Chains A and B, each alone.
Chain A
């Protein structure tokens, strides 16, 4: 029974808030705030779940403004995001909630939005330089994702050690790159000395590319024990590839995945362990944070503590991964195994 949640950091953040004797800022219901939820692109499950969370908060707060869920189509993600952000600015929307897929290319558009009075709150994936961003609502501490991935790798590969490789999304995805860097950092600890990261490849968050990359990894490294995919598309494509080729006994798959998509691979042993956080909660918390910022209740300064409905209190802090940027840390995340994946998949 290996069901652990990394909640220490969230707890720490909550404690820090109360130590500062700051009053918890509460949301005033029923104000009119026009909000735009802008995912990396439309049409995949995690972002739809985030939208569900945002809609829940929208009703709860009785916002008389609009909540618009809009995003680019997948083939047009980067240019489309910049375009939608610019359009939202000229429409005079109050807040754009952005899961950034455009790296720092979007920073000028975000700065222009801020100058015109449209707040930009990032979630899921931040603007790497932090320019033009009011706040980043982080799903989990990026450093702790690195540790959890290293722990899962160790637990799957076992004490005798072995080789593993990373199958990521796109080469310029800010969140995946940060997590992989955090994992490389975590692996320096002597307890991981026997597990060796041999390669990082990119499946572009597409099933067929990820599937073929996973097979190429197996061909390239005959002794490979594990493929670590910190992307929901990559992990299930890799698991299917290993299952199809009858390689599950030899090469396991782990990473970040959705229980609904991974349940069969976890039960048959192809992907014995993987982790994820709740995207519904992430959307809900992002909405609360953005609403508070737009109504002026929250200034967006480090040390402010606010209440986010059913999720409790959160405090704005420095983002340890990005100098000068600020974040709200959600946490925790759950590690799924055959013991808990079925319940979560429903």
Chain B
């Protein structure tokens, strides 16, 4: 019965099953776990990391990795916050656009170094991770951005609900993220320009023979990653208000985690950004829930989280492999059966 479902959809369904399993598990061990508040917590907290992970997915699809995203988020949150303190009258849309542009600028630096000179992205972005953070530390001069220095609409945006259903709230920032993820999904699956990212990742040589500009595609992937990290930086500013130089620290690992758990092949070429969204939500769910689970002490939380991520990935890989094998057998069986029928006719 699974034979007709495309492989990516199958992966997504398995991931959703794992997600549901984790929710049920925590619901069983934590009192008063399943409620509207849980949805509000996870959805708002995932909004920021899911944006970054979506950008990361573009990069990973092309067989690269962007480790600098955490520093980009921090820089954008800080610089945009600083500009807003100077010119509080800037229109909201212009501010968001500015955040995206600054982020895209950082992404372009990575993209240029990787695509133009063919340098390994893990080294380039490891370096820019440190460089961007140092730029932030040097230019901040120790001052932090505080909520008071921002116009009221900035922290207000993170709190604004698109709609509420009883206790259930859907914040605007969650809506923005969902729209971005959906747009990215449609772009990657429906448009020729989007398919190029898969082509470069699955077989760079074949892609080049097919006339795809590899350098341009990789460059674009980094620019998209930077731009989405920039948008995430604006949301970070809006949600947390007080920005110090440590803002966004560690987001690179979280985003790569979400991408991998979300079923994007770390060696490029296959994946689905809807899966990345679910992956980000799964990691956040586990992280938030473990704090509430009495059995796990603070010191073990990180280790347990790591184990659960590993388990999720292994379970996903094993299940997909088994289903793929069964499908191959079924296909082989059908192929063997077909000539037999033909022979009967003659």
Residues of A bordering B, CB below 8 Å: 41-45, 47-48, 51, 73-76, 171, 200-202, 205-208, 211-213, 215-217, 219-220, 222, 233, 236-237, 240, 244, 260-261, 263-264
Contact = CB atoms under 8 A, between A and B. Distances in A.
B23 interface: no
B16 interface: no
A237 B41 CA distance: 15
A240 B237 CA distance: 12
Given A74-B245, A215-B41, A240-B147, A43 B291 contact: no
A202 B298 contact: yes
Contact of B137 (A42, A45, A51, A208): A42
B292 A43 contact: no
Contacts of A215: 41
B236 interface: yes
A205 B246 contact: yes
Given A215-B41, A216-B288, A206 B144 contact: no
A237 B242 contact: yes
Contacts of B189: none
A237 B144 contact: no
Nearest to A216: B291
Most buried by A among B38, B140, B246: B246
Contacts of B136: 43
Contacts of A200: 298
A177 to B, nearest CB: 12
A182 B180 CA distance: 49
B146 interface: yes
Contact of A244 (B32, B159, B242): B159
Contacts of B242: 207, 236-237, 240, 261
Please list the 8 inter-chain residue pairs (A to B) with the smallest Cβ-Cβ separation, ordered nearest first.
A48-B142, A43-B245, A216-B291, A43-B137, A74-B246, A220-B292, A207-B240, A42-B137
Contact of A211 (B240, B250, B299): B240
A75 B249 contact: yes
Contacts of B38: 219
B128 to A, nearest CB: 13
Contacts, number: 104
Given A44-B144, A208-B240, A219 B292 contact: yes
B146 A219 contact: no
Contacts of B45: 212
Contacts of A48: 141-143
Contacts of A44: 142, 144, 244-246
Contacts of A207: 240, 242-244, 246-247
B42 to A, nearest CB: 10
A263 B142 contact: no
Nearest to A265: B147
A211 B158 CA distance: 14
B204 interface: no
B130 interface: yes
B148 interface: yes
A43 B90 CA distance: 27
Contacts of B9: none
B225 to A, nearest CB: 19
B145 to A, nearest CB: 10
Contacts of A233: 244, 246
Contacts of B244: 43-45, 207, 233
A211 B142 CA distance: 21
A51 B142 CA distance: 10
Contacts of B141: 48
29 contacts: A42-B137, A43-B136, A43-B142, A43-B244, A45-B244, A73-B130, A73-B133, A73-B137, A74-B137, A75-B129, A75-B246, A75-B249, A171-B299, A200-B298, A201-B298, A205-B246, A206-B246, A208-B236, A208-B247, A211-B239, A212-B288, A216-B292, A217-B291, A222-B32, A240-B147, A240-B240, A244-B155, A261-B242, A264-B147
